[in-house]
A and B are shown apart, each in its own frame.
Chain A
Amino acid sequence: MNKIVLPPNESSPASWPEGLTRVPYWVFQDQKIYAEEQRRIFQGPNWHYLALEVELAEAGDFLTTQVGDTPVIVTRDSDSEIYAFENRCAHRGALICLEHRGKHRKDFSCVYHAWNYDPQGNLTGVAFKDGVKGKGGMPDSFKMEQHGPRKLRIAILHGLIFGSFSEDVPSIEEYLGEEILTRIERVLGGRTPVVLGRFTQVLPNNWKLYMENVKDSYHASILHLFFTTFELNRLSQKGGIIVDESGGHHVSYSAIDPDAEKDVEYAKQQLRSESEYKLADPTLLQGFDEYHDGVTLQILSVFPTFVLQQIQNAIAVRQIVPRAVDKTDLNWTYLGFADDTPEQRLTRIKQGNLVGPAGYISMEDGCVGGFVQRGIAGASDERAVLEMGGAEAKSSESRVTESSVRGFWKAYRANMGL
């Protein structure tokens, strides 16, 4: 085990405060921490979202993605199985595949010296391996099977493809636990997703600030004023937070209270006559009952960087890719399902306005991380305070809590040995 090298202004690992209610700001700033995260978290015993199975529907389909800093190729080979391997030539380290996605690929060839790989990531050809006219070439000791990009373990769960570089990672079921599994199944189980759109939001902050934001149910009705301003959030909603045992995964959900619904109808009547603000086109928020359980919002995260979202009928997966200490890519994939009616599809597309870089309730998430990153500049000795809802990282009926944020730090520290 390598020891964590702490930033110079921190004297020892003990300087990480006791408990889960304080987070030192240097964890969002330090280059060495970023490098250590790559090794311990992104190369370590965790599952990382790679793609949707439906994006690799046919043999020969491929796409490129990232696990942390590491570029990865994901393929479906002629045996119909999914494979993933490092997008890095075993020879000199160049990218093997430059395209984002494509079809009918039987092999991958590095442009630099034409070293060739099959769709499972095995080295199958080395240009001029035996030299030319008996001269040059590789020595007899060179064995192609001993060289090749690192392969990832693959786990597929309800159409989501996860990969891991680690041999020590538990099964995906064990990794997630029953409650998280059930909540993924609720959204995706037994259905064929259809990709409606893909966008990347470039965030001016450390990746962990976005994950904190995802897990922070305390901010939702404060920062995102859209619903309250338009007086559409009068529903007295019940819900809660689920935090798994590791702390790293969470679900935040809210449900319509059937008893409150009558009041809502009443309130709506009032709203039309009394309120200054209302939506000129309220069809934006007119959804359909998709899950028959009254839950209109379910935000689910999987440690370290995956989010599955149901906001009314806007379904999306989000993949967080750290790019630098203070730069993060947030990859959005908006989903429908193969059995959507045209009206349901239009509803999803309209409700897409709620999320993403221009989302009424999530454009702010794109900038608040930057506000923190800028705010903590020069304050690496200081600490964030996470005491809302207590000091633990446990499931809770209240969403006015930072329980799942503390859970993230619990899992993070376990991964990082901090």
Chain B
Amino acid sequence: MSDNVQQYITKTQADYARCIDDDRLEEWPNFFHGPCLYKITTSSNYRDGLEAGIVFANSRGMLSDRVSALRDANIYERQSYRHILGQPSIISKEGPMVRSETSFLVARILQDGDTSIYATGRYFDLYEIADEAAKLNERTVVCDSSRIDTLLALPL
């Protein structure tokens, strides 16, 4: 069972990364289910228990608004990400609810071709395992560095 859990989470995370990296952002909110929480913060804020995020959404509507704002309102140079994910570590399991931690590295590719390491960090996730799949309830993206280059448009 726990091997399966690992597999389900790995699959969900791989699909999540492809969704963003392939610029299918309209599908991105669909990765969240139930009482949705998505937050981007830094390791020092996380360590100190500071509540605010660089991005904070506690409803799927707020995730959709992120995407429509990026498409229709916000101004930024075209850019894309390449997510490289580590293996998820299962932190705790209570019934169908599983907490995991996964390392990520995100490279950002700007329209002039410049590719750089944009962010490294950890996903702290809460999944619900149902129907042989892991559904994301909460994702706290904790960036290792508190420095963000220029702006953060796309989700991590």
Contact = CB atoms under 8 A, between A and B. Distances in A.
Interface of A: 100, 195-204, 223, 225-226, 228-230, 277, 279-281, 283-284, 329, 334, 345, 348-350, 352-353, 356-358, 360, 363-364, 366-367, 370
B14 interface: no
B1 interface: no
A358 B151 contact: yes
Interface residues of B, number: 36
Given A202-B147, A277-B68, A280-B68, 8 more contacts: A198-B42, A201-B148, A204-B150, A349-B51, A350-B58, A352-B56, A366-B150, A367-B76
B69 A202 contact: no
Contacts of B151: 201, 357-358, 363-364, 366-367
Q: Which of A202, A226, A281, A283 has the most chain B CB atoms inside 10 A of its CB? A: A281
B4 interface: no
B50 A195 contact: yes
B115 interface: no
Nearest to A370: B150
Contacts of B9: none
A263 to B, nearest CB: 23
B130 interface: no
Contacts of B59: 280-281, 283
B52 A200 contact: no
Contacts of B54: 197, 199, 356-358
A197 B51 contact: yes
Contacts of A204: 149-150
B86 interface: no
B144 interface: no
A225 B65 contact: no
A364 to B, nearest CB: 5
7 closest residue pairs by CB, A with B: A281-B61, A197-B52, A280-B61, A196-B52, A229-B73, A358-B152, A366-B151
A366 B45 CA distance: 21
